[in-house]
Structure 1
Amino acid sequence: MAQKHRITRFFLAVLSAMVIVSFSSDPVFADKKKINIRFSTWHVPSGADVQKLWIPMLEEMKKRSNNRITYTMYSGGALGKGPDHFDIVKTGLSDMGYATLSWTPGRFPLTDVLSSPIVCPAKWKGVEAGMAMYDRMLSPEFKDVKVLHINNCVMAHLWTTRAVTRLEDLQGMKIRSPGGLQTRAIQALGATPVFMPLGDVYLSMETGVIDGVVTCPALVKAFKLNEVAGFGVPTSFGCVSEGLFVNKRFWERVPEDLKPIIESVGRDAYKIAGIFDEGWYAATMAEFKTTMEIEELSPAEQQRWDDRFRKMLVAWAEELEAKGLPGKKALTAFREELGRVGVGFNACPY
C-alpha cells in the first residue's frame, strides 16, 4: 500500500511539473512578466529633462502597463560621457536611452540635416518632422538600435559675454559648438567653433576661454549659463540631432503586449510631459530677459545671417553628394516635413 502511495505521489509531482512548464511556455502567460528598463541619459539629474520629461515618460509607461514596466535611472555621467550615449544603448550597457547624435561627427551624416538652422520652438514638432525623415530616408543609419524617436531639439541661440548685433561683432570670437551643422554655421558667420563638454562651458565663459555658446534655452537653464552670458541673440541656429533609442537585444525580450506602450509613450514623450513646447519656450526666454540683454537682429541683419547659412548648407549638401549621399534631397525633404508641422526653414537653399 505504501509503495502504491509513493507511485501516486510521484505521478502527481510529474503532472504538476508538466502543468507549470506548460503555463511558463505559453505566450499569454509569458507576456505577463515584468520588465525593468535601465534608462540612460547625459542630462543632469536635477534638470528639467530628467525631472520633467524622462521620469514622467517612464512613469507613464509604468502606469499604462499596470506596473509591469519599472525603471532604473542613470543620468548625467553615471554610465559615460555625453558622446558615448548612443553606444551605451547599442551595446546594452543600458536598455533605453537618449543620445545626441551631433556629438559624434561623421557617424550619422544624413541625420545631420536635422541640425539645420530652422525655427522650431517645440520639441514635439521636431519629433514629428524627425520621424517623417526617418521613414523617408534616415532609417539606414540606425540599424543597430530600435528607434522610438529622433528629433532636432528646440532651436539653439547664441549666448555671449559681449553684445553681438551684426556679423562683424562675431569676428575673432570663440563660440562653443554642440556639433553637427551648427559647427559649420558658426564658421559661416566668421567665428571660431570650439567643442567642449557642456559641463566645462560655465567656467570657460567666466574665465574668457570662450566668448559664447550656441545651445538651446533648456541647456542654458540646466547648466546655469545665464549667470555668465550677459547677452543673447535669439536667431535660430537650429539645434542638435538627438533621439530616444532601445537596445535591440532588450527589445526582443520585451513582451509583445508591452511593446505598443513603449512605442507610443516614447514617441509622444514631449506631448505627454507637456514640456519644451511653445509655451515653455516663451516663458523661459522671458525669464532670461530679466538677467540678460536679449536683442533680435534687424530684418536686414537677419537676412545677412540667413544668406551665410544658405551657402553653408549648399556646401554641406554638395560634400554629401560627392560621397554618394543625397544631401540636396535631404534638405528638400526636411523643408517639406517641417512645413507640415508649421516650422520655418528660411535658410533652406532648395
Structure 2
Amino acid sequence: MKFSLKLLLATLAASVAFSSFAADPEKKTFRLKFAHHNPPTAFVCTNGFAPWVKAVESRTGGQVKIDIYPSATLGKPQDAYDNVIKGIADITWGFVAYFPGRFPLTEVMNLPMLGVDKATVGSKVVWDLYNETPYLKKEFADVKVLTLHTHDGAPVTSKKPILTMGDMQGKKIRAPGGPLVPMLQSLGASPMAMPAPDTYQAAEKGVIDGAVMAWEAVEMMNLQEVFKSALDANVNSGVFFLIMNKKTWDSLPPEVQKVFDEESGEKASQLFAKAWDETKKTSTAKFLKAGGKIVPMDAAETTKWREKSMSIWTKWASDQEAKKLPGLAILDEAVKRIEKARKQQM
C-alpha cells in the first residue's frame, strides 16, 4: 500500500510538472536560432547538440523551438560571440581561441601541456572554474552563458613524422591561436594561426606541414587525406562556449529559463565532452584506415614539452597580473583541478 501511494504521488507530481508545459494555444512559442561553425554531421552535433536541443524542446512541451544553423551559415567563427550580442543568432557555440585577448582568464585552459587528456576532464574543470570561482564570469557578462566545455587533448598531425622536439624545428604548424602560438615557437616551429576549416587547403597547398587540433576536427576536416602521421601528445584542450543573447534570455518565462538552466551547465558540458571523447575512437580508426600512423608521446618527451610549456604558463600568468587580472590564482586553480579531475576519472 505504501509503495502504491508513493508511486501515485510520484505520477501526480510528474503530471503536474509536465502539464505546466503542455500544449497551450495561449502560450507564446519561442523560436530560437542556434548557430555554430561545424558541419551538421560532426559528432558533437549529432551526439551533443541534437540531444541537448531535443531535451529543451521536449521539456518545454514544444514552447521552445530551436532551429540549428550549422557550417557558419550565420557568420564566420570569429564573429560568433558578437553575432549573439547583435541578435543575429539567439544561441551560438564558439571557440575561445578564435578571440585572442577577449577572454584572457578563460584562456588558461588553452595553455599547452596542462595534462588534459580527455574532454570530460577539461570540461569538468572549465565549468567549475566558471561556476565556482569569481574569475571567469566577468568575461561573459554581456551574454547568458549556457555552458563551457573543452575538447580532448589534441595531437600533432603532420605530413612527415613529428615525434620529438627536434622534429619540430622549422616546421610550419597550424594552431588556433592563443597560448599555443608561443609554445610552438619555443619548440622551434613556425606557428600558423588559422581557423580549423582552413587547415585542409593550407596543408594541400603546402602552406603548413602539420596541425595541432582535436581528433574530432581531424576527422571532420578529412585531414587523414593530407596528414599521415600523428603524435598523440595531448598538447592542449581548447575551450568552447554555448551562449545566449541576453534579450532573448530575458524574454523567456521563468519556467523556460529553468529548463535551459537544468539542461545546460555541467550536464551539457559533460554531454558535449563525452561526444568529443567518443569521436576520438572513430577519428583515430579512420586515420589508421587511411594509412596513417599514430604514436603515443612517451613520458620522457612529455616531460620535455611540459617543461618548455611552463615558461609559457609563467609568462601568461605574468601578463594577466600586469593587466590587474589574477593570472597566478587562476593558473594554480586550473592545474590543481585538472590533476584532481584526472584522478577522479581514471
Deviation at 1:277, TM superposition (A): 5.3
Counterpart residue number, 1:7: none
Q: Give CA deviations for 1:212-236 in whole Å, capped at 9, x if unaligned.
A: 1110001111111111111001111
Deviation at 1:279, TM superposition (A): 4.5
Whether 2:128 is the aligned partner of 1:132: answer yes
Deviation at 1:326, TM superposition (A): 1.5
Unaligned runs of 5+ in 1: 1-28, 345-350
Counterpart residue number, 1:11: none
Deviation at 1:259, TM superposition (A): 1.0
Deviation at 1:340, TM superposition (A): 3.7
Counterpart residue number, 2:287: 288
Counterpart residue number, 1:14: none
SS of the counterpart of 1:281?
helix
Matches within 5 A, 1:257-276: 257-267=255-265, 268-269=267-268, 271-272=270-271, 275-276=274-275
Alignment length, in residue pairs? Answer: 316
Counterpart residue number, 1:77: 72
2:215–2:279 CA contact under 8 A, matched in 1: no
SS of the counterpart of 1:342?
helix
Cα distance in 2 for partners of 1:250, 1:207 equals: 43
TM-score scaled by length of structure 1: 0.84
Counterpart residue number, 2:216: 218
Cα distance in 1 for partners of 2:242, 2:252 equals: 17
Q: What is the letter of the counterpart of residue 151 of structure 1?
A: H
Counterpart residue number, 1:320: 320
Unaligned runs of 5+ in 2: 1-23
SS of the counterpart of 1:99?
strand
1:160–1:229 CA contact under 8 A, matched in 2: yes
Deviation at 1:176, TM superposition (A): 0.7
Q: What is the letter of the counterpart of residue 80 of structure 1?
A: G
Counterpart residue number, 2:231: 233
Relative distance call for 1:45 and 1:286 in structure 2 (3 A) is closer
Which has the larger Rg?
Answer: 1
Q: Give CA deviations for 1:79-101 in whole Å, capped at 9, x if unaligned.
A: 11111111111221111110111
Deviation at 1:197, TM superposition (A): 2.9
Counterpart residue number, 1:179: 177
Whether 2:81 is the aligned partner of 1:86: answer yes
Cα distance in 1 for partners of 2:25, 2:333 equals: 43
Instruction: Calculate percent identity across the aligned residue pairs.
Output: 27
Counterpart residue number, 2:240: 242
TM-score scaled by length of structure 2: 0.85
Cα distance in 1 for partners of 2:129, 2:273 equals: 23
Counterpart residue number, 2:31: 36
Deviation at 1:316, TM superposition (A): 1.3
Cα distance in 2 for partners of 1:185, 1:30 equals: 57
Cα distance in 1 for partners of 2:186, 2:258 equals: 44
2:47–2:275 CA contact under 8 A, matched in 1: no
Cα distance in 1 for partners of 2:330, 2:67 equals: 37
Coordinate RMSD, CA, aligned: 2.2
Deviation at 1:278, TM superposition (A): 4.3
Q: What is the letter of the counterpart of residue 205 of structure 1?
A: A
2:123–2:150 CA contact under 8 A, matched in 1: yes
Counterpart residue number, 1:107: 102
Deviation at 1:31, TM superposition (A): 9.6
Moved more, 97-106 or 181-190: 181-190
